[in-house]
Structure 1
Amino acid sequence: MFEETIRALKQLSNEKSALSFSADDDNYFDRECPAPECLAQFKVLMADWKEKVRDEEVFCPFCGHAADAQKWWTQEQLEYARDVALAKIQAAIGGALRRDAQSFNQRHFGGGFISISMKVDSRPQHVPIPYAAAAPMRLKIACAECGCRYAVVGAAYFCPSCGANAAELVFDLTTQGIRQSLDAIDFIKAAISDADTAENTCRLIVESALQNAVTAFQRIAEALHARIAPTTKVRRNAFQSLAEGSALWTAAIGHGYEKHLSAVEMEQLVMPFQQRHLLAHTQGIVDVDYIKKTTDARFKIGQRLVIKRETVAEALTLIEKLTHGLRDDVMCMNESNFAPQLKRIESGED
């Protein structure tokens, strides 16, 4: 009775279909980290995804997670693939059922008290719109090690192709992107018609900017410290603490952050670093440790932080000032280490 349907099912089980996904207008291809604790989205230039990225191992620019190339589909791409597969199954099975019904109806017995027929709903099938990549991301990076070109929103530090740490390269680009996002807040607020949605969106942009600024400093401080003290074991996230990071710097070269920031500036920077901690771990709810470490009298325990755009901009300026100072420290260390060898070369000893 269901010969056509059975035949269609067998045919579907033997078929393998290839799906194609489009890139954005700049030919960047959307990817998503498969690590459940990350799930960050980024883009890779389509040509580099095909020619530079290895099938065996791809790295997340944000968390450094590694997995094979088939694990990096975005949720939107997976949803599109499911829609396409379902539409194909519905079309194949629906057509087979209609043919079986027609054959059955032609053979049915009429003229009695009971008349049997079959009907298959033949409403138009939904045709999935082909997946289109999102708008080009703000920050475009070319890996200094392998040349792979990728794009991210926010602060990211690892090359998808080779896994190289790009913290030093990305820092300046990240701070530039943070400023652009802060400058765009008024435009974004005006473009969203619903007042509550506009306010919430702008709040999230400001809070994200603060977290990205502190994280960008943490990553570049880690990279710079590894150059001057490569054998020193550093606690994970140590450079999220200004006091701990300064102590590590002092142990490595004899002075800490106080060389580059005044006492007042250091105090000003403590607050946004602690605010980042609350945003990351308590959804921004003020706790006892925050009050003790910042003496911020504007909030009580249990209240939620309210972070101003101006506060983030000021913190970003201090972070840039401190980072430039640390870079100078590393450069001076490299020059001092090279000086004895240069002196021997000039004297003809080497």
Structure 2
Amino acid sequence: MRFRNLEKYQRGKSGNTMELGIPLPQTPDGRVYRYSPNENAHPRHFVLGSRVPEFALPEAMTPRMSHRPGIPETVCPYSGVVAADNDFTHPDDLAAAKKIVEHAAHADMQEAIHGMFEDLGRKLSGSKFIKVKTGGRSAPKPVPRFLRSDLLRELVCDECGRDYGVFAISLFCPDCGAPNIHLHFAREVALVRDQVKLADGLGEDQSELAYRLMGNAHEDVLTAFEATLKTVYLYKVAMRPPESPEVKAVGNAFQNIGRGRQRFAEFGFDPYATLSAEALAVLTLNIQKRHVIGHNLGVADAAFAEHAADARLGETVPLVGDDILQFAEIGQMVVNGIDAWLANGSPPPVGNATTNPIVAPRAREPAAVKIGELGPLAIKIGLWIARESTHGYSDFIPEEELLAAFPEASVDEVAFAVAELSTDDFINTTSFIAKRLPRMTSNPSLYITFDPYALKTDPAVDVVTLVDMVLAKKETAQVEELHKETGWPLRRFNPAFAYLISQIDERRVLKGGTNEYPARGFYLVDQDRVELHRFGSRLRR
């Protein structure tokens, strides 16, 4: 018995077992569905095409490749997992293959049964008692067809020339394993360029629509930039050993340069290291501008005004096409650097350049700090003490260094400013007959008040974190343990800790025995817990 329909798919035979090969359904552009065997490589689905004809595949692997192209293995573009091609077969294609085999087998069985009765009819054609009459052969059912769709993001690897498509963003070429995130972002830049061109082409009577298009283009740059950094960071997190500690939820960390740097510092990498100071300033301004456009209808707020000298509170932030494109080009520089990091330092075959020279935005002059009734010189001295401090509590202030730091002020003026700081309990002073200036040491209140201006850290905010940590403990809080738990530098920890122990009955504070901290720790009773809870609640308001 022959299986003519099944034999169309025969690729081999082992004994009586027929080995079949069912061609995969293709998308309109000739790609096939693939599905990552890594269950955590969301969304797992991608499409794979052929190598573009004009691409000359190098004879040896390039430094950026992690996998030899053209062999029967595939690299998951989302996670980098390598497995045999068959392991990437899409579940829909498995179901389709079963349908095709079922159709062919059904057709073969139908023909076989019809043929059996035809043979029987011929053999019994001379019989007077039995007549076998077969009807005409029924029309065969059409071979099943399966619709396959291309994905929105189509790429061609610039290392091996393989054509493929993914959902939104991926990390690697599925053929050679080379990092391809620079191609993703380059596509985003091209789309933004088209948006800007479209907005620039609108007339004055459509200025509101043009502004909206510009705003969308600007926001798209940061969205793509944030998504790229987040995707790479989470990939690196997933590649850590199984016993590695959990990381905090990413949230919107990559909408902020400082917090984004901290995340990548976990892996010893700074994504912004390749940027000049001017480029970093432009990037910072545009990230802040995006928040204004996305969350404040384009109206400048105080936070944005700090970064842009020409911004006016309450007025609409202007959007210029060239500025948006430069924002995108600087983002491309960062992404190219990350791409090279993924390739062990081998940069992608693209250049880092911007259409126009990068000029740092003119910063707004900081507003004069006003603290109580302190005079300008007293405030300057307070800021200087805060910046110079290494411990953040009870620092001795050398007279010679103080005078050298303010050469434009007379000794009498400095003495008056010191007296102001002492009067308001920012420093302790002890006067001597033979000296014009007293002996000076700082008080915790100086750092609590001046640190937000001098160091951009706020002990009144940090102390709330300490309160939460302390309330989770039973009876005794040890300072070294608490410090280690925060992960903060000593200079940041001490002012917040001093603020904290000021809320504890001094009889339960363990003073002395340490030169690094205001106290060794403290005991807690229920009354202290109540006071700390209310203290933290007040600061959170």
TM value normalised by structure 1: 0.48
Bigger Rg over Cα: 2
Q: Counting helix residues as a fraction of each chain, which structure ranks higher?
A: 1
Length-normalised TM-score, structure 2 = 0.34
